[in-house]
Structure 1
Amino acid sequence: MTRPRGATDEQIAAMLRDGATHKEIKTTLRVGGSSITRARTTQQIPYVPRTGDDLRAHLTRRYPQAIEMLRAGATRQSITAATRISAGTLTRIRKALDLPVPQRPRPSSTIPQVLARHLQPYGDGHARWTGPHTGTKPELNAGGRRYNARRQSFAAHHGRTPEGRVTTTCTEPRCIAGAHLADDIVRTEQQAEQQLDATFTAIFGPDAP
């Protein structure tokens, strides 16, 4: 891999002194291993010990201010501002010195966001579920909880929680479009409408307006 313009031995050496790994340097500066070795040699940068007491001793000598701030409970942002040490280096220091590494909370998607992501419309108003399944049941994961995606699609369309079993009313057996789903209440209403239509036809005939 050729070195891009501007990736000098001094730049490579600066990342080495900051504790960056060869992989991080290659990715950031787009240089090869031979360039890193040459910069380490010309700049007289020793290899950092990898494990054990030697590593802890090296880090203590190299980053005394950062370690003191870490032990005092300072945030990563404040340490970086004061020492210009990268977040990756701070994580390596924490691990080597058995200091707790804060876990970043993963953003939690809402039910509407997951529905928008995995409801794929097709055909005549149908929709298929592109998210995970438990067996044949479409599964919706949001806010750290699991839901029946068909019931959530019904609720989003009808504006209420379904009563009883949710079934598909169209010819597509796996359709999950809210408008094509029915619960006990919708089925009762549909049956009532069908009975009313049948009564009307019996009285006035099939050709009545």
Structure 2
Amino acid sequence: MTAPAREDVAALLRAGATYRTIKEQLGVGHGVISKTRTAYKIPTPRRFGPQGAELRAATERRYPQIAAMLRAEATHRQITAATGATAPTIVRIRRILRIPVPARHQRTARTIAQVLALYVEPYGDDGHARWSGPHADTQPQLSASGRVYSARREAFRAHHGRPPAGTVRASCTEPRCIAGAHLTDQTIRDEAHLDALYQDIFGDTP
């Protein structure tokens, strides 16, 4: 036989006490508390953190530098460099504090070619290039016209004029190089292998 609903449990539930508090004060089990809530039709309270002005004040206290930089119209990249905050955190703080996005920072839809030109940075004397844009795990990620692409595959496509076959790899000494001329796909690697076999068999031909 299960224990009946209890008025003293109901009183604590109406006062907003947690199940843990009720268990500690009255020595009752979870089943009694649940049965009492149902029998007395006591709604489960919706528990939230600070809201409204309280949340804005707490955010200002916790992130004063980010708030100040947002109001000074700093870019996300500048704020991340200065504070280490991630883009989602910066966006959340902007929304909580109701700081509008400056018109000059509002993104327009870029093409793949524009994004490649923006984030592919040449370096060194051997034609290498690095990706300075966003990553998914360790893979360069390209966002353009509302879609997400592999930056490495799009760099290959832009240089070779065709989509890659299979995995795209750097053929140079820099494994993360994204220079189009240094990227190979399975087709290029197969052709290089056949050329090497031909060379081994026939040698140099006049």
TM bucket by the smaller chain?
0.3 to 0.5
**Structure 2-normalised TM-score?**
0.46
**Structure 1-normalised TM-score?**
0.45
